[in-house]
Amino acid sequence: YAAKRYTRQSAWYNDAQEASRLSHLSLLSDLRSAVKASELQMWLQPKLNLQNGRIYGFESLVRWQHPERGFISPAEFIPFAEKTGYIGIVTQWMLDSALLKLHAWKQHYPDLSIAVNVSTYDLRDRSFPERVVSLLKKYDVAPHLLKIEMTESGIMEDPQATIELLNRLRDTGVGLSIDDFGTGYSSLAYLQKLPVNELKIDRSFVSDIQHADATKKLVRTIIEMGHGLNLHVVAEGIEQEQEKITLSELGCDAMQGYLLSKPLYGNSLQEWMHLHIPLSQKT
Ligand code: C2E
Ligand code: MG
Ligand code: MG
Ligand code: MG
């Protein structure tokens, strides 16, 4: 489905600068084979519950190890993948990898969740909820262990259509989360209608919280509003102990950031989990 969409939208590319166009096009054809060649990796960054001090889950973040270009950051290739529809391949691969991991954790870490980032392109695909359901079945994973993150600005591109799709997604039982909250100009009227259960405060607010009293007041208001809407409130990008303390005092429910851990992969992930997460007593 992604390839078809690519042809339809290729006009956008004809307007782009020749040099960058060529380099992006080759990047994208590489992306198609990247999945097959196992060049994509799913890194995981832990999330800490500030009330009980427990690790309750991870956010998945894609990494691309390109054979010639080396490491390509998601900030670099996700936007182009979104504009061409190739993002669908990335999303499907990340969902599959996340559910495979949740399946593998069933015995020793049965309560951990994984969040997958999706773009508005994914949400425009009306078969998206069915694809999620069939993957949950394939790996025999409880729906609430999977969380879907979409950015506030993405939701606001077409709030009516998105709300409809989010309602169908919510009916599948997966968790829904608004990412980068505070940067996307959402109207409070829409916020009330979104069938989500989590709100993630954007990193830009966190880095200001110690220096600007106005930011601290704003974050306090966001947390109170989130709680008023029955949402779990997570702060992103916590790097300093003092930021963690302040956010706890403000009543924030959970945190994520370099202070706790950078995104992890492979042996580092296993070692980190071993040190920080007690094994389930269930056998
Ligand atoms: P995001 O979803 O808001 O993810 C958080 C980003 O902040 C990640 O960058 C993460 O590594 C970084 N981060 C976490 N803690 C800290 C911290 O304490 N300090 C600082 N400075 N940064 C921190 P990353 O992995 O480079 O991803 C950037 C963005 O790319 C993500 O923002 C998300 O919008 C997008 N992205 C990443 N993976 C995927 C994916 O699989 N699918 C889609 N659609 N988008 C993705
Ligand atoms: Mg995210
Ligand atoms: Mg974010
Ligand atoms: Mg972001």
ipTM for the assembly: 0.98
Q: Supply the pLDDT for residue 42.
A: 97
**What is the Å distance from ligand 4's center to 204 Cα?**
10
Above 50 in pLDDT, residue 219?
A: yes
Measuring from atom 46 of ligand 1, which residue has the nearest CA?
A: 117
Residue range 192-217: average pLDDT?
Answer: 93
75: Cβ below 6 Å to ligand 1?
Answer: yes
Is 4's pLDDT higher than 60? no
Cβ-contact 277, 55 below 8 angstroms? yes
Q: Which residue owns the Cα nearest ligand 1 atom 19? A: 237
Q: What is the pLDDT of residue 17?
A: 47
Reported as a pLDDT band with limits 50, 70 and 90, residue 15 is very low
Could you say which ligand is closest to the alpha carbon of residue 149? Answer: 2
pLDDT tens-place string over residues 80-129: 888 888 899 999 999 999 999 999 999 999 999 999 999 988 988 899 99
With 80 as the cut, is the pLDDT of residue 168 above it? yes
Q: Would you say the CB of residue 178 lies under 6 angstroms from ligand 1? A: no
Ligand 1 contacts CB of residue 96 (under 6 A): no
pLDDT of the residue at 11:
42
Distance between CA atoms of residues 280 and 273, nearest Å = 12
Distance CA 251, CA 227 (A): 9
What is the chain's mean pLDDT, rounded? 88
Per-residue pLDDT reduced to its tens digit, 23-38? 665 676 677 777 777 7
Ligand 4 midpoint to CA 280 (Å): 32
pLDDT of 12 above 50: no
Q: Is 94 in the pocket of ligand 1 (CB under 6 A)?
A: yes
pLDDT at residue 281, as a whole number: 67
CA of 165 to the centre of ligand 2 (A): 19
CA distances from 82 to 96, 124, 254, 260 (A): 19, 12, 29, 30
Evaluate: CB of 46 within 6 angstroms of ligand 1. Answer: no
- 117 ligand 1 Cβ < 6 A: yes
Q: Is the dihedral of CA 206, 208, 209, 213 positive or negative?
A: negative
For every residue of the chain, which 3-state class applies, written as one string? CHHHHHHHCCHHHHCCCHHHHHHHHHHHHHHHHHHHCCCEEEEEEEEEECCCCCEEEEEEEEEEEECCCEEECHHHHHHHHHHHCCHHHHHHHHHHHHHHHHHHHCCCCCCCEEEEECCHHHHHCCCHHHHHHHHHHHHCCCHHHEEEEEEHHHHHHCHHHHHHHHHHHHHCCCEEEEEEECCCCCCHHHHHHCCCCEEEECHHHHHHCCCCHHHHHHHHHHHHHHHHCCCEEEECCCCCHHHHHHHHHCCCCEECCCCCCCCECHHHHHHHHHHHCCCCCCC
Which pLDDT does position 260 carry in this prediction?
98
Q: Is the CB of residue 258 below 6 angstroms from any atom belonging to ligand 1? A: yes
